[in-house]
Amino acid sequence: MRFEIVKCHGSGNDFPLIDARDIALDEAEWAVVARALADRAGPVGGDGLLLLTAGDEVHAFGMVMRNSDGSEAETCLNGVRCVARAGFAALGIDQAQVRLKTSSAFAAHDPDLAPGVYTVRETAGPAGMDVTAWPMRIRTDRLIEGVVPALSDTIRFTAVAMPNPHLVAFVDTVDEAELVRIGTICEGAPDWLPNRANVSFVEVRGGDLFVRTFERGVGLTDSCGSAMAASTHAACLTGRIPTDRETVVFNRGGLVRAQADADGVVTICGNATFEWAGSVEVDLATRVAFGLVVTARYPDEVAAWEAAKRVAG
């Protein structure tokens, strides 16, 4: 089956994106497509697969994000921006309520974050603090700077749902080996955390944040939008940064501007960069992608984002 795709990224979190509004595949088939297209050893590669889906009476359109292992995430805020851009273009609008798996997000085309960088503002939340809803079976229903003995005797985590589950730890310096160790435990879906969780180590740099994330269903990633939102909320909740003040959140892939309010609603302003467009074949039986044809490239957008990263960092 041949798919028209756009390769895009939000803050370095990269995806193939498909307009799936008129494509009839079931859940298992879409999982196959996600694994084939997100495979870094294949012709496309990515942190997952984004689908622009049909709207309803409340939402102009929807988004589905499948991780590179084929599983469906509750949300992906970097992905929301990319799907919103595609939805805006398809429908001739510049703002929309976007349906997610278990919630919705507001998205609007915003003034450029930097010259030539297509920018979308999105609002998500309120953040959920009840870990029994994940479920996370520990001795409390709310975890704020608490130890999880199954993960570490010393690292303190704050548990936030955005609405996908995040464990956020503030550290002096990110230890990637330790992050991978803890993320791998969570990825194994232990009895006390059957639906897994994203794990982030966060450095506070003045009034800004640097976030490094082991993403559920993906692994160590250069960027995770919901992790940046969860980290911003956790930083406000624990008094590390002020509530209702815009903060720059950095990651390996770039940056976004984020702001959390007292109710746990987080607004993120970041890029939705298109790199190229084309088509690719996916054999659903063999689960392999092949025959990539690139029909358009967007070098000016790619260069604009790289320039913005250099200035920021």
What's the CA angle centered on 287, arms 277 and 75, to 5 degrees? 60
Measured N-to-C along each axis, helices 225-237 and 77-91 cross at an angle, to the nearest 10 degrees, of 120
Q: Give residues with Cβ within 8 angstroms of 207, minimum separation 6.
A: 241, 245, 247
The residue type found at 7 is K
Active-site residues, by number, are: 76, 224
Beta strands at 219-221 and 48-54: parallel, antiparallel or unpaired: unpaired
Alpha-carbon gap, residue 185 to 197, rounded angstroms: 10
**Paired tokens of 126:** 């309120």
**Paired tokens of 149:** 């003995």
Long-range contacts for 133-141 (Cβ within 8 Å, ≥24 apart)?
133/161, 134/159, 134/161, 134/165, 134/193, 134/195, 134/197, 135/193, 135/194, 135/195, 136/165, 136/192, 136/193, 136/197, 137/191, 137/192, 137/193, 138/192
